[in-house]
Amino acid sequence: MKRIYVLASALCMVFASCQKNQEESTEDVMALPQEELSISKEQCGTMGVLEDKIAENPGLIQDMAAVEAHTKLALEGGFTKRLAADGKIEIPIVFHVLYNADSENIPLSQLEDQVAALNEDFNLQNPGRNTIPAEFSAVEGNVGLRFVLEDVIRVKTKKRQWRPDDSMKFSSSDGSDVVNPQEFLNIWVVSNMPYRGGNILGYAQFPGGSWATDGVVMDHRFTGTTPYSTGRTATHEVGHWLNLRHIWGDGGCGATDYVADTPDSDGPSRGCPSYPTVNCGTADMTMNFMDYSDDPCLNMFTEGQKARMLSVFTNGGFRATMAD
């Protein structure tokens, strides 16, 4: 989609256009065996949570506008980033596993599987990337991030479910406090998260938000390798954490994801769409990690998305301390 850089007033318009009726009906978009779990139309709760955060703190609009202004300069070559000797940026992960039932206290192996999936997806090692159509493989990007498991914090909680209101990020509300968010990616793994009539798989906080709540939240059933997951939900949410938007721009044709090399689309994909699926006059990039296709059919980031993500690590960027 066309890259558009906006400041505070334009951001207000973007966020307003993304708002949805809180009372809208939902439908099951994923059948989960042996579980009564309806998935919200908004599988990812990131944009809805952002709306709520802006309602609570309108100043967040200016903070995110500053991130966008820095992104523009970084993409124009105004800043540099520090890299490890092998050319990668290393991101240590602290997992907070919050559990009530024993089944929610997922094993270390499942968390290691999740880290492995992130390393595949951000380094052109995704097992399905050979299915990417030639039209899109020409812009496939190797982001070059290395994720490592730093620590696992396990908390036995009284809560059987969590709403996506960041309460899981505070010990005062029976959750677990963030750990050094300027150095670590914090991922909270929880039980189901009811939202707008269904359940979401995860949500993330964009750059520019409070450090006290910075990170990603995941349903334990969609973390790592499970009967329902190959770990791509976390890839999607980490994309948000690195300032990517949904590939359809959370609107109809003409809505933007602030990236030039992703085609226009009128909404999210479901299942494993065949190629080409045409909307807005172009083929949809349904295999992009920032769409809603099923895990086996999500296989790529673009060069434009790569540049946007890496801009947060440049000098003065919101996550620059991770690249020091």
What does DSSP assign to residue 323?
G
Identify which of 220, 210, 219 has the alpha carbon closest to the alpha carbon of residue 177.
210
Mutual angle of helices 46-56 and 60-75, in 10-degree steps: 120
Assign 3-state DSSP to the chain and report helix, strand, coil percentages, each to 5: 30, 20, 50
Identify which of 199, 227, 187 has the alpha carbon closest to the alpha carbon of residue 98.
187
What does DSSP assign to residue 46?
H
154 neighbors 99 (Cβ within 8 angstroms): yes
CA angle centred on 220, ends 176 and 124, rounded to 5°? 105
Catalytic residue among 42, 68, 104, 237: 237
Catalytic annotation on 237?
Answer: yes
Tell me the pairing of strands 185-190 and 89-99.
parallel
Residues 6+ apart with CB under 8 A from 23: none
Query: In the numeric block, which tokens belong to residue 119?
Result: 């390393």
Q: Where are the beta strands (DSSP E) in the chain?
A: 89-99, 145-156, 185-190, 193-195, 198-200, 202-204, 216-219, 225-226, 229-230, 278-279, 282-283
Q: Where are the beta strands (DSSP E) in 85-211?
A: 89-99, 145-156, 185-190, 193-195, 198-200, 202-204
Q: Which residues are catalytic?
A: 237
